[in-house]
Structure formats: C-alpha cells, structure tokens
Structure 1
Amino acid sequence: MKNIILGLVGAAMTLTAITSCKKLDLTPYDAIDIATGFNTVQDAKYWNTGMYNALRARTYGSYNIPQEVQGDQLNASGDFGNRNGAFHRWGTFLNADDFSGIYQAYYSGLSNVNVMIKGFEQIQASAGAQTDSLNTYKADAHMMRAYYYHELAVRYTKAYNPSTAASDLGMPLLTEFDLSAKPARASLKAVYDQILADLAIAKSLNKRANVRGARYFTTDAVLAFEARVKLAIQDWAGAYAAANTLITSGRYPLYNTAVGLKSYWATDATQEDIMRINATLTETVNTNSVYLGLQGAQAVFTPDFIPTQTVVDSYDNADLRKNVYFEQKLLLIQGVRYSNVWLVNKFPGNPALFTTTFTNYQNANKVFRIGEIYAIAAEAAANLSNNANALTALNALRTARGLTALSGLSGASLTSEVRAERTRELNFDGFHLWDLKRWGLGFTRGTAQVAAAVQPSTGFVGLTIAASDPKFVWGLPTNDLILNPNLVQNPGW
C-alpha cells in the first residue's frame, strides 16, 4: 500500500510510506492511502488544505534569506555568528548541500501535487457547485506545480535564454508520482513548457473571486504568476499583457502615503496584496528575522545582517519606502553601542500577532503583490522598446512612492531606471540575486554604514562577484546525485 504523509516535510523519498503486514495494511493517522483517498469532493478539499499548509512552510525565512545575504546589499554584523555565512561568503565556503533543504522541500511538494492531480481525476462530482469546487482544486494543484518548478528553476538553473533554453540544463521533470523514477535533467525549455501548460490549465479551471489579501490562488494570483514567469523567459509581450491586465483592473491600488505603506508592512493591511499567506496567533509562518535581532529587555538590536550604506543611499529621502523598509536603531555589537544605524525593518512583526511583549517577527507572507506587477510591466515594455508604456508603469510606481516622474528616457537609460526602481521596490523580498542573474550582472558588495560593526575580513565587505560566477546557479544536493546517477551537477560545484 502507498500512503502520502500529510506532514509534507523532508525529501520525496521520505514522504511515501510503503507499509505492509501479513494480515492487513494499516494507514498511519497522518497519512492518506492513495488508493482510497480520492473518492469525494470533500477528499479533494482535504488534499487542497494540506497543499496550502505546505506552501505556508515554503515561503519567506530559509526560502528568502539565502539569496538576499548572498547578494550585494547586506553586510554581516560582528555578531552574526556565521549564521548564513556560507551564502554570504561565496567561493569555497559555499557548497551544494547548503541548499539541499530547499531542493528537497520543493520536490516533496511536487510529489504530493502529482498525486493530487492524478487522484482528482478519479473523483466524480455532481454538476454545479461540486464541479466548480473540484475544478478549482484541480486549478490550484496545477498552479502549485508550476510555482514549485519555477522556484526550482530560478535557483538551480541558468537564467532563461530563448536561444539556448532547448539545450540548457533544467530540472528533473516529474509529472506523476513514481518512487522508483530516476529522471535525468530536462532542458530548461521543457521545464518552462510544463510550467506554462500547468498555468493554462489553472487559468481555465480557477473559479475563485478576486479579493485583496486573498489566501488562495485566485484568477488574479494566477495572472500575477504568469507575468512573473513570462518575464523570466523573456516573453516580454506576454509579461506586459498579464501585468497590465492586473494594473488596469484597479483592484490593487498602490499605497501613496507613508502611513498607508507602513500599514502594509507593519500591520498587514491588504490593499496591495494579490495573494498572501496569513499568520495568526495559532498558525505561524516563516519569518525574515535576521535583520533586527531585538534584545527587548535592553531596547537594543543585534542583527545578523546590516544593510549597506550603498543600498540605504539608493533611496531618496522623499521615497516613502526609505523609512518603511529601513529604520534607524540603536545597535549593540560585541558589547559596543552604535546609534542611528539603518536596519532592514520591512518585516518587523505585526503587534497583533505578538505572543509576548516583544516582536516574534510574524507578518503575512506576501506571495504576489501589485508593486512587483508594476515593475514587471515597466521592464517588459522597456524590452519591447515601448518607451511610453514603460514610463507609464515606472512613473506610476515612482510617484506613488513619493518620487518625481521621469520623462524622455529610452534605451539604456530607461533600462537602468527600470532596474533601479524594481530593485528599490522589491529589496529583501528574495528577487534581487535572481534579477542580477537574469540581467547578466555581477556585483561588488556595498560599503558598510559602520565599519566597526560588521565583519571586516576578506569575503565580507567589498566582495566582488563576476557575472560569470557559477555560484549564481545553486548546486544540486549530493544525496540526490548519489541516489540518481542520471543527474548532472551544475558547473562549479
């Protein structure tokens, strides 16, 4: 008998329990028997709930922080204790197994989603509401499979190049649950073809109404993901069309006041949220907790990572985001106090979710938000040489955030402004390293705000990474290479 464990943790190999005894097979209390787990629409609902619970565990935190500390916009503090140090230092400090948990978690999710997609076809729904519900659960499963494969691709493959994608290494591509399968890596084009195919099914079947702060994949969430994917594969027209549809719907207006923008990040207001994962007092989410390190009793902060002076200076004083994404704090680093140091304050914790006097860093995890969509529209239009549309999207974002509109830009100058604005809007959301990879750019890590408060040695401040560095593409875990001899490791690992 094959059972899928509802905990949805660990590698795919551990998610499937094969149990037997001489007289009867017993299904564990935390598992569903594949053969009997798909009888009714209610069964599908249970699977759907488990799938979203798994997604809750696969956003923010360790799915966001590695690529942020690997980049150019943070310095390790003197008290960072080597937490996430391998990511930050690159070179020989960084090895493929540092990323194994993310790889295995996404593939375990794919194993369960593949079971769901196949199992849902066994369910007979009556016409009307039951059919609509079942179709929505099917749409969610296809959307989730597309989401997981895209998240794997941005981490473990080269940036998508339409001229080479048919031969570039993609990910092992599995669309059915098979414990014995040992697939080779598909081409990157084949992976994104599968993503687009799943997206098409999700779009055709999803019946959910669009609401701000949605907790599930609505039709707008699917469209937001389509815009993200098509930007990644350089389908500029497709990315612009999807993004512009969301923008012109008017359902998610940009905040244009400091109070409004602060409410979005600090207390989880919903105006800009296309889809989010909520935290509650009893249901927690992963947190981006490395940026503050509040020592509550002393009213000082001991963060693992401090934003560089360079990234702080990239925000004009008129930019509403500067005093929302950052805040000046009193630091205590190795026993020394430093006043008025800018720290990342984008994820401060919602006071309504505190379980003690001090923050637990719990905030709603933002899966799709309209700020990203404006950035996608601007970049896609710029790549289409449609300067007017690019400036329209760019200036809508800029002026909402308190900056002046730009005019008369084209070519390289327009591209530069579009990239700079995307970076300012999405900083610390987990995109920047992948954007550098997409744009074919290396970096030199920025200047420290307070040199004495950060790690001074080689490989920290001033680290220079070439665009060609192979470790922009993460390595496949050693265990997977051993278990599956058909896999090929990425270069440089």
Structure 2
Amino acid sequence: MKKIILGIVGTVLTLAAITSCKKLDLAPYNSVSPETGFQTWLDARYWDNGLYTQLRGRLYGSYNTLQETAVDQLNASLDFGNRGGAAHRWGNFLQANDVAGPYQGFYSAIANANFVIEGLDKIAVPATAAQQDTLTNAKSDARAVRAYYYHELMTRYAKAYNPATAATDLGVPLLIKYDVKALPSRANSKAVYDQILADITYAKANNKRANRSASSSATAVSAKFTPDALLALEARVRLAIQDWPGAYAAANTLISSGRYPLYTTEATLKNYWHTETARSEDIFRINATTAETVNTNAIYLGYSGQNQWYVPDFIPTQSVVDSYEATDFRRNIYFAQLPIFIQGVRYNNVWLVNKFPGVPSLFTGTFTNYMHSPKVFRIGEIYTIAAEAAERGGSTAANALTALNALRVARGLTTIAPVGAALTQAVRDERTREMNFDGFRLWDLKRWGLGFTRGTPQNTAFVNTGTGFTGLVIQANDNKFTWGIPTNDLQLNTNLVPNPGW
C-alpha cells in the first residue's frame, strides 16, 4: 500500500483544486489543512463536487474494458496492438501489474474519501436547513463512494464471497482513516463487506435528496447519489454476498416504485444508449460534457473517419451475436454490421460492438470521441438482480419469472416458464445479454463458479488465433479469476499476502 499512499497528498490537492478557486486562498498554498479546508457548508459542497469528479474518473475505460477483454465474448483483432492482451490471454501472459490500475485508482479515491469524512465532521452545523442538507449529503456521499470503491476492489482482488468461509477468506486492506503511514494487512472478506454495508446504511440514513417521481420527465436523472441509487448499490452488494432476500428486497423496491420504466421499443432503447436523449432507465449516471470529459470504451470500433471503415481492437464472437434472438431489440443496438480494415484487407458486414459509439452532442470534432455519460446504476441491471436473487431463494420461483419475463418482454422477447436448472440458466443468460460489455461478465462467471470457453470467431482471417486467443478454455477454479495484488504494493508493504497463482 505504500506506493499508493505516497500519492495521496497530491491527489487530495488535485481534488481540492478542481472544486473551487476558494481553496487558492488557503494557507499554506501547497497543501490542504483539515483545520482550514473544512470550515463552512460551502467547503462541504466543494469537497462533495470533488468526490464526484474522482468517481467520474473511475468509471468506464479500463475500469470496464479490462475485464471484458478477459472473457469469452470477444476476439482480439490482428491490429489490436496488444491493448488488453495480457488479460485476454490469461496464464503466464497475465501478471499482477497488468491489473494494478484499478487497485491503485480505487485506493487513492478511498484515501480521499477518508480525508473528506474526517474533515466534514469538523464543520459546525450550518444555520439554515438547506445548508444543513448540503453538509449532510456530502457526508452521505463520502461514505457511498467509499462503499462503492471497496465493493469494486473486493470483486476484483478477493475470491468470490462465500458466507461459510468469509470470516477467514482474504479480502482487501481495509482503511477507514486517513493515514499516510499505514501499512495494513488484508482484512477478511466479511469484515470488508460489513464495512461496505455499514457505509451504505449511514449513507441511506443521511441522504436528503429526493428521488425522481414516477411521472417526471425521462430526462430528469440524478447525477448524484439519491436514496434510490443507494438502494441500487445495496442490491448489487447483497447479490455479491449471497444475501438473496436482501438483494431481492432492494431490487424489487426499485422495480415496484415505477420511477424507472423499462423501454419497450427498439427506437427508445437505441436513444437511451446512442444519443442519451432517453433516460428513464437511469437510476444514477455521471453526466459527461465537452468540458468534463470521461473515460471511454473506445476499443470496440476504432472508426477511421476519412476512410469510413473501422479498425477495432476487439471483435465480438459469432457466439455472442447469435445469443440474441432476431427480435431482441438489443441485438441491433449493442452490435452493428460494419466494414473493417485489418492488416491491409477490407472486410464488409462484420459485427462490431456498438454499445458505446459516442454521443453526437459530446463530440468535440467531426468524428466520434466515444464519450458517453457513464451509467452507474440502471434499472435493467436491477431486474437481473431481482430475478437471480429470487431464483436463488430470496423469494419464489414465480417472482424470479416475473422479473425475468418483464425484462425479456421489454426487450422484444416472449415470456418463458423454465423450472429448476433451466430457470437458473435462463436467468444467467438474460443477465448476460442485458449487461454485456458493461464490465460484469467476468465477475458474474466468478460469482457463479463457472469457467468458460472463448466463443467461435466470426472469421479467423482477421483475429488472432494463437495461444490464449481463439478457443481459450478457462476452468472455474483458475486462480486468475481473482486478480493479483500489485507487485509494488507487496514489496513495499510486507504485511500484505499475495493471491494464489500470482
């Protein structure tokens, strides 16, 4: 952890600098003191804005695509330049430093959240109710983002949660105080998730924002945590720890509220993804602007504007394209048949991932910059959580089918009525179709205890076919489903224990 901690002070300074010019008036001018940086409710607002700026930088991009390249649904093109190649090929090709970025990014953000949590407690209660709400919301947000980051760390760097062994399974280092000298060991998985749930409980109790009403405009989307967004986070977390009743209750509460209706036509669903002019399925998104840029999922297209062809790093397998029925609205939204130019050869009508083509209103030039406002929580995911949690025992099989079929019908499919193992498979298949390329597939396989075989390529002429590429087979017990603790952190903090196989 020492390497990460050495960068914390600089990160905190950056966080302060981007939130308000007011911080330039503080002394000393090259640091932020808890005594001078946290004085009024306005300071709380500035720090709160900074927390969201940091969250924006930890969504999409490599925080999403790194795990997507690792699984069964993509083939590396011959021109992919080894971007994401280590994760894609597994085995000895994949080393801990190849997956170090999220570890360092999340821990630096946690350090700042801890700094803000401690600082906000120094601010006296403001005079007006509105000012008090600003301070209270900032306190809620700091714990919400800390819970989010710790869940993301556990998903990547700890084994899948098992309630029977969680009290002894290695989790990740648990830091809830800002301490630049700390060299923590790894907490057990239960302790980390207990802290995550405690932070969510605190955040829910102190969040003063209003949820969107069921009758509000589809463009009325919160760009900050609301009670509903916190409930979505809770549903995701409880699914991860196999709290099936808790996950179902949280998810079903959001569904039953009627505030986030599913789109039921291809046109509206396409606007939701491609132009962002339709937003009713969003529970919480971080808004992007041309001035406030975000990470992009640009590896799937590689558009060459002048030539009007594409040079993608990764190409969807024929298997994943074929997993969508012809009537499934998502097929022609998540994918598009486009011309590609690989190794000097043009190929027409190749299916490419088109879920993130770039929003035209966010372009800063003639051609796409692939920018989208990151969807942190959306109702489509919540339906998949309700279905899985109910099917696993959090409610009845009938309720699992209700959630499953509601999502299927909204996406242009017919209702089904599987039972037993067939219902389990149907729930998993529908989650995969809904959540493809959003960064969940690897973690779902890990949570389900499943391995995979990489799908059949569309054409072997334009993808890599060597070791670790097409036909890759990964067993369910492969150590590298759980990513390695970065090498530098292990060397600088001897209290850390590496994950097996790294």
TM-score, structure 1 normalization = 0.95
Paired letter, 2:144? M
Deviation at 1:127, TM superposition (A): 5.0
**1:36-435 matched pairs, under 5 angstroms:** 36-125=36-125, 126-211=127-212, 212-268=220-276, 269-384=278-393, 386-407=396-417, 409-435=418-444
Q: Give CA-to-partner distance per residue, 1:445-483, whole Å, 9 cap, x none.
A: 001001101001121000000000000000011111111
Name the CA distance, whole Å, in 2 between partners of 1:27 and 1:221: 38
Name the CA distance, whole Å, in 2 between partners of 1:37 and 1:26: 9
- 1:478 maps to which of 476, 487, 495: 487
Deviation at 1:35, TM superposition (A): 2.6
Tell me the equivalent position of 1:5: none
Deviation at 1:340, TM superposition (A): 0.7
Q: Give CA-to-partner distance per residue, 1:410-454, whole Å, 9 cap, x none.
A: 221110000000000000000000000000000000010011010
Deviation at 1:270, TM superposition (A): 1.0
Structure 1 unmatched runs, 5+: 1-9, 20-24
Name the CA distance, whole Å, in 1 between partners of 2:285 and 2:458: 33
Equivalent pairs counted in the alignment come to 477
Name the CA distance, whole Å, in 1 between partners of 2:290 and 2:468: 40
- 8 A contact 2:8–2:180 mirrored in 1: no
Tell me the equivalent position of 1:13: 6
Query: 1:161 is paired with a residue of what secondary structure?
Result: coil
TM-score, structure 2 normalization = 0.93
Tell me the equivalent position of 2:16: none
Deviation at 1:213, TM superposition (A): 2.3
Deviation at 1:395, TM superposition (A): 0.3
Structure 2 unmatched runs, 5+: 14-25, 213-219
Query: 1:129 is paired with a residue of what secondary structure?
Result: helix
Moved over 6 A (4+): none
Q: Give CA-to-partner distance per residue, 1:279-324, whole Å, 9 cap, x none.
A: 1121111000000000110010000000000000000000000000
Identity, % of aligned positions: 62
Paired letter, 2:167? A
Tell me the equivalent position of 2:23: none
Deviation at 1:27, TM superposition (A): 3.1
Name the CA distance, whole Å, in 2 between partners of 1:348 and 1:11: 34
Q: Give CA-to-partner distance per residue, 1:169-194, whole Å, 9 cap, x none.
A: 00100100011111110000000000
Paired letter, 1:309? Q
Q: Give CA-to-partner distance per residue, 1:135-175, whole Å, 9 cap, x none.
A: 11111011111001000000000000000100000010010
- 8 A contact 1:209–1:219 mirrored in 2: yes
Query: 1:451 is paired with a residue of what secondary structure?
Result: coil
Name the CA distance, whole Å, in 1 between partners of 2:161 and 2:128: 42
CA RMSD of aligned residues (A): 1.4
Query: 1:329 is paired with a residue of what secondary structure?
Result: strand
Deviation at 1:26, TM superposition (A): 5.7
- 8 A contact 2:222–2:285 mirrored in 1: yes
- 8 A contact 1:443–1:467 mirrored in 2: yes
Tell me the equivalent position of 1:4: none
Query: 2:338 is paired with a residue of what secondary structure?
Result: strand
